[in-house]
Structure 1
C-alpha cells in the first residue's frame, strides 16, 4: 500500500510538471497581456510595468521563475486586482468549493437512488420517466435553466434570493448567517445538481443492469434474500466500481462548470474571478486557477483509486 502510494505521488508530480508546461506556455505565447491591452497606459509606462513584472524576459526563463515560485506556493501577482494570486484564490475558492461539494453530494445521492430503482424496474413507467427526464436535463443549457429558475422562484414566487451569497447589508452571525447563505445557495446548487445528475443516473442504471444479470446476483436471489438486500448489498457495491472512476473528475469539472452558474447567480466564487481575468487577460490569475484545477484532477484520480479498495476488498493496490 505504501509503495503504491509513493509511486502514485511520483506519477502525480510528473503529471503536474507536464501540466505546468502546457498551462504556462499556452498563456505566455498568447498575443497580448494585461499591460498590452490596457488603453490608459502610455508606451513608456507599459515598458516600465513589463520590466517590473518580468514580462520582458525570454519566455523560457519566465517559466522557470514561475515554476520556482509556484513550488513555494507563490503563483504570481494579479495585475488586475493588484494582489497575490494565492490570496485571491483563498478568498474566493471556498465559496466555489461550498457550491461544488454540496451539488456533488446531492448529485451522487439522487443518481444512485434513481439509477438503482430504474434498473430494478426496467421497462416500467418509472424507468421511462427517468429516461425522459435524464435526456431532458442533459439537453438544457445552464444559462437557460439558471435564468428560468430565477424567473420562477426568485422573481415570481419570491421564495429564494435571485443572486449573491448573502443579503446586502446583512450583519447576521451564527445560525442566522448560515441560514441566509443556505437560502442564497439553493438555486445555484439546484441548477448544478439538475444538470449533472442526468449523465450520472444513466451511468448507474447501465452498470446496475449489467450487474443484476450476473450469476452471483441470481445466486443471492436463489438463496431467498430480500430484493432490497440483493440490490443494495450485492449489486450496488459492484456497480459502484466503474462509477468511482468518475469521482476523480467530479470536483474539477464542477469548479469549471460552475463558472457560468456563478456568473448567472452573482455568486462570489472563483468563477467570477476567472471570467473577469479572462476578459482583461490577467494571465497570472488564469494560470494559477488552471493549475489549481490540474492539482484537483490528479488528487481526485488518486482518491478514486484508493476508493476502489474501500468499495471492493478484493481489489489489491500494487
Structure 2
C-alpha cells in the first residue's frame, strides 16, 4: 500500500506540473488582459501597471514566479476584484460547496433507491416511467428547467424566492438566517438534482440488473432470505462498487460550482465569479481557479482508487 501511494504521489506531482504549465501558458498567451482592455486607463498607466505586475516579462519567467508564489500559498492577485485570489476563494467557494454538497447527496440517495427498484421491477410500468423521466431530464437544458421553475414556483405561485442567497437587505441571524438560506437554495438544488439524477439512476439501474443475474443472488434467494435483504445487503453492495470510481469526479464538482445554475439563480458562488472573470479577462483568478480544480481532480482520482481497494479486497493495487 505504501509503495502504491508513493508511486501515485509522484505521478500526481508530474501531472500537476504539466497541468500548471499548460494552464499558465494558455492564459498567458491569450491576447489581451484586464489592463489592456480597461478603457479608463491611459497608455502610460497601462505600461506602469504591466511593469508592476510583471506582465512584460517572458512567459517562462512569469511561470516560474507564479509557481514559486503558488508553493507559498499565493495564487496571485485579482486585478478586477482588487483582492488576493485565495481570499476570493474563501469568500465564494463555500457558497458553491453548500449548494453542490446538498444536491449531490440528494442525487445519490434518490438515484440509488430508484435505480434498485427499477432494476428489480425491470420492464414494469414503474421502470418504463423511470426510463422516460431519465431521458427527459437528460435532454432538457439546465437554463430551461431553471427558468421554468422560477416562472412557476417563484413568479406565479410565489412559494420560493427567484434567486440570491438571502433576501436583499436582510439582517437575519441564527435560525432565521438559516431558514432564509434554505428557502433560497431550494430551487437551484432541485434543478441540480434533476440534471444529475438521470444519468446516475441509469448507471445504478444497469449495474443492479447485472448483479441480480449472478449466481450468488440466486443462492441467497434459495436460502430463503427476504427479498429486501437480498437486494440491499447482497446485491446493492456489489452494484455500488463501480460507482466508487465516480466519487473522484464529485470532489472537484463540490468546490467548482455550477456555472450556469449560479448565473440563473444569482447564487454568490465561485462559478458565477469565474464567469464574470472571463468577461473581465481577470487571468490571475482564472489561472488560480483552474489550477485548484486540477488539484482537486487528481486528489479525487486517488481517493476513488483507495476507496475501491477498501470496499473490494479482491482488487490489488
TM-score for both structures, normalised by structure 1:
0.96
Q: Does the 8 Å contact 1:211/1:239 carry over to 2?
A: yes
1:72 aligns with 2:69: no
Aligned to 1:58: 58
Return the alpha-carbon distance in structure 2 between the equivalents of residues 303 and 309 of structure 1: 10
Shift of 1:236: 0.9
Shift of 1:225: 1.1
Q: Does the 8 Å contact 2:77/2:85 carry over to 1?
A: yes
Aligned to 1:130: 130
Q: Does the 8 Å contact 1:221/1:230 carry over to 2?
A: yes
Return the alpha-carbon distance in structure 1 between the equivalents of residues 44 and 88 of structure 2: 29
Aligned to 1:115: 115
Aligned to 2:39: 39
Structure 1 unmatched runs, 5+ = none
Aligned to 2:165: 165
Q: Write out per-residue CA displacement over residues 67-126 of structure 1, whole angstroms, 9 at most, x where no aligned residue.
A: 111111100000101110000111000000111111110110011111111000000000
Aligned to 1:188: 188
Aligned to 1:277: 277
Q: Write out per-residue CA displacement over residues 15-48 of structure 1, whole angstroms, 9 at most, x where no aligned residue.
A: 2111111111111111111111111122111111
1:10 aligns with 2:10: yes
Q: Does the 8 Å contact 1:255/1:271 carry over to 2?
A: no
Aligned to 1:145: 145
Aligned to 1:312: 312
Q: Does the 8 Å contact 1:104/1:251 carry over to 2?
A: no
Return the alpha-carbon distance in structure 2 between the equivalents of residues 173 and 253 of structure 1: 29
Q: Does the 8 Å contact 1:85/1:284 carry over to 2?
A: yes
Return the alpha-carbon distance in structure 2 between the equivalents of residues 22 and 77 of structure 1: 20
Return the alpha-carbon distance in structure 2 between the equivalents of residues 194 and 292 of structure 1: 27
Q: Does the 8 Å contact 2:93/2:255 carry over to 1?
A: no
Shift of 1:254: 5.5
Aligned to 1:202: 202
Aligned to 1:24: 24
Shift of 1:252: 2.3
Structure 2 unmatched runs, 5+ = none
Return the alpha-carbon distance in structure 2 between the equivalents of residues 312 and 75 of structure 1: 39
Q: Does the 8 Å contact 2:111/2:204 carry over to 1?
A: yes
- Matched length: 317
TM-score for both structures, normalised by structure 2:
0.97
Q: Does the 8 Å contact 1:101/1:251 carry over to 2?
A: no
Shift of 1:4: 2.7
Partner of 2:123, secondary structure, is coil
Return the alpha-carbon distance in structure 1 between the equivalents of residues 203 and 34 of structure 2: 43
Return the alpha-carbon distance in structure 2 between the equivalents of residues 155 and 251 of structure 1: 34
Q: Does the 8 Å contact 1:153/1:160 carry over to 2?
A: yes
Aligned to 1:287: 287
Shift of 1:300: 1.2
Shift of 1:3: 3.1
Partner of 2:240, secondary structure, is helix
Return the alpha-carbon distance in structure 2 between the equivalents of residues 310 and 240 of structure 1: 13
Q: CA RMSD for the aligned pairs?
A: 1.3
Q: Write out per-residue CA displacement over residues 155-194 of structure 1, whole angstroms, 9 at most, x where no aligned residue.
A: 1111111111111222222111111111111111111111
Q: Does the 8 Å contact 1:66/1:76 carry over to 2?
A: yes
State the 4+ residue runs in structure 1 displaced beyond 6 angstroms.
none
